[in-house]
Amino acid sequence: MAFSLTDHPHRRYNPLTREWVLVSPHRTKRPWQGQTDRPATAERPAYDPECYLCPGNERAGGERNPDYESVYVFNNDFAALLPDAPEGGNSPAPGPTPSAGDGDAKTRSLFCARSERGICRVICFSPRHDLTLPRMEVDQIRSVVDAWTEQYREIGAKEFIRHVQIFENRGAMMGASNPHPHGQIWATESIPLIPHREIEAQAEYMQEHGSCLLCDYGRSERERGERTVVETAHWLAVAPFWAVWPFETLVLPKAHRASLLELDEEERGDLAALLKELTTRYDNLFLTSFPYSMGIHQAPTEGLTPDGYHMHLHFFPPLLRSAEVRKHMVGYEMLGEPQRDITPESAAERIRQVSATHYLSEG
């Protein structure tokens, strides 16, 4: 019997994080038989007087929003990080692993901590309470992309900031406490664990092969086509070969770009167009406002110039078979390694099959 990626259990390697995922395609020969019902969705108003993100309303921290008409950015009233946190701890140098410092080395390795300064901001994508990215116009999404770019520039210029993480948690299933369209920024003086792994992996690939990991990967995916979800003139969205989540996608600029700051006007506009199409296809997959966590990984803003670094966006949606059935990380996945039944190839095909025209009339 010949081995087949579509029929037999196997492990796939993620070169960005240097981790493995177990794939078990034989467990679900017909993965699309699950229920595809659309859950009851209450229509949301364009303005909610009780929403602390709507224009003119008072926020939970007591501040009042201006009557903003486009994208609005403010410091998080209940920030996870503070710019004036005092220095302290027994690992003086930031990094993914403890470094030398005062005290006994053995004890320090068991009980290692250090202070962490940072900045947390909220980005309201629109004054409209009832919108989401797929329901916004491309030029409105372009304003969001421009705001991401300016925030990366402004926050990254601060002396103590090394990494700017821009992300969106969409939907209550992903922990979003407010349905008003918004994202967040967490900027830190250390480079977080996962971005640090990706930086090291891309630098080592460049050193070993003399080329960019994600340039090579994107080119190969475009040639193969089987995992491509959306392609525009300047961007590519694929269900990555090593995907963990059932409908996970990776978004790449076709040209080598380290950060949003390197994108030209056309590339920014094209990113907005891709985001609208991708998120619209997500919504149409199970006829629901599709939940996900999305994040932009780009070059650190201070202290490190990655060799061969290529910016990208991750979309991690939790849904598995319907609007209500989600994937959970349990058992073997918490104790061993991630596992999936639906292959990335079949997931990409399923997303490609749905319409790119948004079906929802309500939020």
- What is the rounded distance in angstroms from the CA atom of residue 203 to the CA atom of residue 46? 46
Q: Is 163 a catalytic residue?
A: no
Residue 86 three-state SS? coil
Contact 317, 294 (CB under 8 A): no
Tokens of 253: 């600029």
- What is the rounded distance in angstroms from the CA atom of residue 289 to the CA atom of residue 66? 28
φ and ψ of 293, to 5 deg: -110, 125
Place of tokens 């639906």: 342
163, 182, 234, 314: the active-site residue: 182
| Burial environment of residue 180 by CB neighbours within 10 A (0 to 12, 13 to 18, 19 or more) | buried
For residue 254, give the nearest of 278, 288, 222 by alpha carbon: 222
Residue 159 CB coordination number (10 Å): 6
What are the DSSP E strand ranges found in 171-242?
Answer: 182-188, 228-231, 235-238
Place of tokens 């994208």: 71
Q: Are strands 339-340 and 312-316 parallel, antiparallel or unpaired?
A: unpaired
Catalytic residue numbers? 182
